[in-house]
Copies of this chain bind each other. A is one copy, B any other.
Amino acid sequence: MIKRLEEATGAALYDALFRPRSVGLVGLSSDQRRPTGRVLEYLRRAGYGGAVHVVNPRHDEVQGARSYASLRDLPEVPEHVYVLLGTHLAAEAVATCAEIGVKVVTVLADGFAEAGAEGARRQNVMVETARSAGMRLLGPNSMGLADLHSGAWITVNAIYAEPDQLAGRAVLISQSGSLMGGLISRARALGLGFSKSVGVGNEADLSVGEIGLLCVDDPDTDVFLLFLETIRDAGRLAEFAATAQAAGKPVVAYKLGRSGVGQHLAVAHTGALLADDAVVDAYLRDVGIARVCTLDGLIEAAILFAGRRPLGKKVPVVGVITTTGGGGAAVCDRLALAGAQIEPASEATLEAIRATGLNVVRAPMTDLTLAGAGPQFVLPALEAMARDPKFDVVVSVSGSSARSAVAETMRPLIEADKCGKPFGAFLTPEAADGLRMLIEARVPAFRTPESCADAIGALLRWRAPRAAIAPLPSAPEQGVVIDERASLALLEGLGMPVVPSVEIEITEAGGTALPFPYPVAAKVLSDAVPHKTEAGGVVIGVDGSEALAAAAVAIARRVAGTHPGVTVARLLVQPMVQGLQEVLLGYRRDPQVGPVVTLAPGGVLVGLYNDKAVRLAPVDEATAAEMIEEVVGLAPLRGYRGLPKGDLAALARAVAAFSRLAEHRDVLEADANPVLVLRDGVVTIDALIVKEE
């Protein structure tokens, strides 16, 4: 008989996860060298203060602790149980946990959703068992979690076997258990610790977003670092990002799958869905998560982002100051590739530096070496740069003295960081001591020019969450096509300008009076023929009623050939419109992140250059205008090479209107292609919409 608990939420759930009064270890091995034998030792070393209960029917005692034959035999019901058994026994243990009233269970075993359809079914049953009892589940396929402040190291991760753990102020949440140890060890080498590390495994119940939400108020946490292979609960993750940002606690993510192969592997590894990286990128930006692209950058972002809010400027400006030419140039080169706008210091700043006796010249980077700077000149110069209102971020590059005179070289960097402006330091030589000194003082410091540019680029691109983001539930895989006329009407209803069109019977094509002059375009009108051009269903430049009759016959004959069995009865006739440039608008309910809208140039080269702007839908006109600016191939409309400018305000209105498809919950997918941009206005020429059945 399963008793229904009041489900733990908020603070109670947080406590059960990260500082439970008692922990149960089911299946603890007596062999400490095995992953399943590690947890007890970890809890002891961490000084965990609660009760630990071991369940292992094969022994009376395991690693010096009394061992019980079953969860039911324990002297109390543990708040948090870590199940260390294999797939099938684990599922049984979870059921027992649910029965006896455990609050949170963490499951190590794999063999669930990541292992195919049968595993997915097994996982669903297990989660259903847990949830129906009001119990929450971390995993399966989870290496567990560690709270460095409470001592709850409920994890099998090998990294915690090491003696020198370092508590810090960042929460690490990872979909990859194995990479977690890599990140923790790399961070520790820099002197960076975590407040918590959580391996979410398959996220069958507790997701990255929900775990993050639980930790937003944690006083030991300033910033969140995520290692993501996929996006599983986009709505909750967005809610977490917004809540965390409001609390002044940034969320930074490394997301696998920037390449096709990477996407494929993330999918194979986790059983998740394949996604277009541009969609993931749009999602992360729109929900207010900063994205880095290097592992070092993820770690080093912890201090750079802590306590920051998005810069809130369209084109933030970076100032670079250096005591070494080559190292400074290497950083600038990378920063510029990461999209940074690097500018010379203002004349007032240069004057302030010159007043100390250094003859610096105006240049993209303020180079103190050329001016022969001794260490006494560095701090005033750094402070002048940090106070320059022109700069949103200041980067300092140090040369060999970062190695040969560590303390003297780090001191001005530590002082300058107190100016409050986002500030980063790159040390050109190998300078582990210097890096540690900076990080100890909570100065953002970077090991390579590449990670420096990566983390700072992420800060520059980081945005506040956009207001209206409410991902829809996943779309069904199949839908029904609606015909062009209905599609155009739906878009017109949203406020998009559409080309006038009349529907005529094919048999009456020659005799119908049209409400607009020739020449016209004639297109087959049938929801059974979504791809009209390929079907031979379009004739353009029809210049009179006879030609229209002939076009109708030709279309009927050709479509009959390409679509045997489809009866074509109607044509859509439209005036020919001349525009400056064609664009393409796309909408879909992405299975991972929900409704997204895409803008791209039209024409035959669409797709070749992957030149598009993507946002979560709906967007307002300001966001639409930003999308238009992002698309390189729309330069002609901006007057490139003296070409006539298009009506980009009208295009922004049209993009915003189109994106309101997100309010039609039954629309799965839509294309407006082409939308013609004119000198004055825009007009939608063709559209195709797929709805739920």
Interface residues of A (CB under 8 A from B): 157-159, 161, 174-179, 181-182, 185-186, 188-189, 227, 229, 256-262, 264-266, 268-269, 294-296, 324-330, 332-337, 342, 363-365, 367, 369, 399-401, 403-404, 428-432, 448-450, 604-605, 608-609, 611, 632-633, 635-636, 640-641, 643
Contacts and interface: CB of A to CB of B under 8 A. Distances in A.
Contacts of A337: 258-259, 262
B635 A336 contact: no
Nearest to A341: B261
A239 to B, nearest CB: 25
12 contacts: A158-B404, A178-B324, A229-B329, A258-B337, A259-B333, A262-B337, A269-B325, A294-B449, A295-B449, A604-B641, A605-B605, A608-B632
Contacts of A176: 325-327, 329
B261 A336 contact: yes
B181 A333 contact: no
A633 B604 contact: no
A330 B604 contact: no
Contacts of A256: 326, 329-330, 333
A643 B604 contact: yes
Contacts of A177: 326
Given A186-B430, A295-B448, A404-B158, A327 B178 contact: yes
A266 B326 CA distance: 8
B333 A265 contact: yes
Given A178-B428, A261-B332, A400-B178, A604 B326 contact: no
A605 B337 CA distance: 22
A364 B261 contact: yes
A265 B178 contact: no
Contacts of A329: 176, 229, 256, 262, 265-266, 269
B178 A399 contact: yes
Main secondary structure of the interface of A (DSSP, over half): helix
A118 to B, nearest CB: 16
B158 A265 contact: no
A644 to B, nearest CB: 12
Contacts of A268: 363-364
A401 B294 CA distance: 22
Nearest to A263: B333
A364 B264 contact: yes
Given A182-B429, A296-B448, 19 more contacts: A158-B403, A177-B326, A179-B324, A179-B326, A181-B400, A182-B428, A185-B429, A185-B430, A256-B326, A261-B336, A261-B342, A262-B332, A264-B364, A265-B329, A266-B329, A268-B364, A294-B448, A605-B636, A609-B633
A178 B327 CA distance: 7
B429 A328 contact: no
A307 B161 CA distance: 40
Contacts of A450: 294-296, 450
Contacts of A269: 325-326, 329, 367
Given A256-B329, A448-B294, A633-B605, A365 B178 contact: no
Number of copies of this chain that the complex holds: 2
A333 B257 contact: yes
A296 B324 CA distance: 18
A335 B258 CA distance: 11
Contacts of A400: 157-159, 178, 181-182
Contact of A336 (B259, B294, B325, B632): B259
B336 A178 contact: no
Contact of A633 (B258, B334, B608): B608
Nearest to A325: B269
Contacts of A178: 324-327, 369, 399-400, 428
A429 B186 contact: yes
A176 B326 CA distance: 5
A327 B182 contact: yes
Contacts of A257: 333
Contact of A640 (B159, B365, B369, B608): B608
Contacts of A431: 185
Contacts of A260: 336
A432 B186 CA distance: 10
A443 to B, nearest CB: 19
B229 A326 contact: yes
Contacts of A404: 158, 161
Nearest to A35: B400
Nearest to A405: B158
A684 B386 CA distance: 56
A429 B159 contact: yes
A328 B428 CA distance: 29
Contacts of A605: 605, 633, 635-636
A409 to B, nearest CB: 12
A467 to B, nearest CB: 32
Top 8 A-B residue pairs of the complex, sorted by shortest distance between their CB atoms: A176-B326, A262-B333, A179-B326, A259-B336, A182-B428, A185-B430, A178-B324, A261-B336
B609 A332 contact: no
Contacts of A608: 632-633, 635, 640
A258 B324 contact: no
Contacts of A330: 179, 256, 262, 295
A367 B632 CA distance: 40
Contact of A403 (B185, B369, B640): B185
Contacts of A325: 176, 178, 265, 269
Contacts of A179: 324, 326-327, 330, 428
Contacts of A609: 609, 611, 632-633
A156 B12 CA distance: 64
A638 B428 CA distance: 47
A652 B430 CA distance: 48
A199 to B, nearest CB: 10
A256 B428 CA distance: 15
Nearest to A336: B259
A640 B604 CA distance: 9
A230 to B, nearest CB: 11
